[in-house]
Amino acid sequence: MQQPYEMPQPSESPPPSPPPVSARVLVVDDDPTVAEVVSGYLDRAGYAVDRAGDGPSALARAAAHWPDLVVLDLMLPGMDGLEVCRRIRGRGPVPVIMLTARGDEDDRILGLEVGADDYVTKPFSPRELVLRVESVLRRTRPATRPLRPLSAAGLTVDPEARRATKDGAELALTIREFDLLAFFLRNPGRAYSREDLMREVWGWDFGDLSTVTVHVRRLRGKVEDDPGRPRLIQTVWGVGYRFEEPATTPDTATREP
């Protein structure tokens, strides 16, 4: 029987523990073995860990002790992980890493589209999962120095307040969508590959590049007047994406496939 996680090799040890507890992580998985292994690695890495075995318990745990991040299994009894993600995100912004045994790309993309920041497919390395948790949390921590607001094409991003607006109306962005928009506004006019964006925005040197594609599509749906004819986040064929302030004549825009 295949384990839902990869057993550590003798030379593989959990990441060293930082002195203080840095964040609270909610682990939601109906497999007690997976939950125990993941919780143990996170605990040794210095995180405060809560556990839940189903959707209602996860919502109750989150309400009692709001997490800094959720590790969430997609396949849960009664209420699946997608619905749990929607409900938790409805209460407030929190990063979500989904665990899934499904191999179908559509399921993984659906997880990203409901707001998950990352997914890990079983079987997975617990050590890698801890590194991904750290990567996601690192992106959500307050900056050590003040960051100035960014503005272009009617969009304004305030990194300190984590607030984005379009023509004065607030945008409902996920954590990763916010980071992606801020990166584009800081670096207008330059083309970035999906690998570049994954490294610069996600902080990863590995991962499924469809993550970037899905987030760009969702971000266009929120910042473009016509997402099918994007004028701000433009596709650079054979390269990736580029943020441009639109020209005065919109007819030059081309429809995305």
82 with 54: CB under 8 angstroms?
A: no
Residues in the chain: 257
The answer on pLDDT for 252 being more than 90 is no
Question: Pairing relation of β-strands 69-73 and 24-28?
Answer: parallel
In a domain, 135, yes or no: yes
Final residue of a structural domain among 140, 162, 182: 140
Question: Which CATH number does the domain housing residue 164 bear?
Answer: 1.10.10.10
Q: Percent of the chain having pLDDT more than 90?
A: 44
Same domain (yes/no): 48, 130: yes
pLDDT given at position 102: 61
pLDDT given at position 108: 66
In a domain, 207, yes or no: yes
In a domain, 234, yes or no: yes
Q: Is the dihedral of CA 56, 119, 136, 187 positive or negative?
A: negative
Q: How many domains does the chain have?
A: 2
Same domain (yes/no): 119, 37: yes
Q: What is the mean pLDDT of residues 234-251?
A: 80
Lowest mean pLDDT segment, chosen from 16-25, 113-122, 212-221: 16-25
In a domain, 8, yes or no: no
Tell me the backbone φ, ψ of residue 6, rounded to 5 degrees: -90, 130
- Cα–Cα dist 43/57, whole Å: 20
Q: List, in sequence order, every beta strand (DSSP E) within the chain.
A: 24-28, 48-52, 69-73, 96-100, 118-121, 150-152, 155-158, 163-166, 169-170, 191-193, 233-236, 240-243
In a domain, 38, yes or no: yes
- Two tokens, residue 152: 């272009």
Question: Which CATH number does the domain housing residue 94 bear?
Answer: 3.40.50.2300
In a domain, 59, yes or no: yes
Question: Pairing relation of β-strands 240-243 and 191-193?
Answer: antiparallel
Structural domain including 78 reads 24-140
Residue 190, C-beta contacts closer than 8 angstroms, at least 6 positions apart: 242
- Cα–Cα dist 204/166, whole Å: 29
Mean pLDDT score of the chain: 82
The answer on pLDDT for 135 being more than 90 is no
Same domain (yes/no): 36, 125: yes
- Cα–Cα dist 133/128, whole Å: 9
The CA-atom distances, in angstroms, between 136 and each of 95, 118, 191 are 7, 8, 24
Q: CA-based diameter of the chain, in Å?
A: 63
Same domain (yes/no): 181, 201: yes
Same domain (yes/no): 126, 181: no
The answer on pLDDT for 257 being more than 70 is no
Lowest mean pLDDT segment, chosen from 32-46, 75-89, 106-120, 167-181: 106-120
In a domain, 241, yes or no: yes
In a domain, 10, yes or no: no
Same domain (yes/no): 29, 134: yes
Final residue of a structural domain among 140, 163, 183: 140
Same domain (yes/no): 124, 210: no
pTM for this predicted structure: 0.66
Final residue of a structural domain among 115, 140, 165: 140
pLDDT given at position 4: 59
The answer on pLDDT for 207 being more than 70 is no
